[in-house]
Amino acid sequence: MVISSKSQVLTANRLGDGRVVYLSGEGWTTDLEQARLLSDPGAAETAEQEGREAVAARLVVEPYLIDVAAEIDRVEPVRLRERIRAEGPSTGNSRGYAA
């Protein structure tokens, strides 16, 4: 049996190298599994404020909330665009996409 809950996470791009990052309990991470799950509006608002502060500190650009399905063994973005971003670059033929 898989238990799933709908949550959000804050994502952005790291300013130094453009990598997709997620807000965790310890700062920013490239690992979606380590992202801080936001399950209520208050937590989301706090995370967005942390995102604005990270922009001001020139750590990240374009922070925004994404919907995720959180299961016991994984976290997966709901939208296809965000799943592609979470998997990493899709250039070349590394993922079987046409070049």
- Per residue in 32-76, pLDDT tens? 999 999 999 999 999 999 999 999 999 999 999 999 998 888 899
pLDDT in the model for residue 96? 53
Q: Domain span at residue 59?
A: 4-87
Count: domains in the chain: 1
The CA–CA distances, whole Å, from 34 to 3, 12, 47, 97 equal 18, 14, 14, 27
Q: Is residue 95 part of a domain?
A: no
Q: Is residue 11 part of a domain?
A: yes
pLDDT in the model for residue 75? 92
Q: Is residue 22 part of a domain?
A: yes
pLDDT in the model for residue 61? 98
- Per-residue pLDDT band at 91 (split at 50, 70, 90): low
Q: Is residue 10 part of a domain?
A: yes
Q: Is residue 96 part of a domain?
A: no
Q: Is residue 99 part of a domain?
A: no
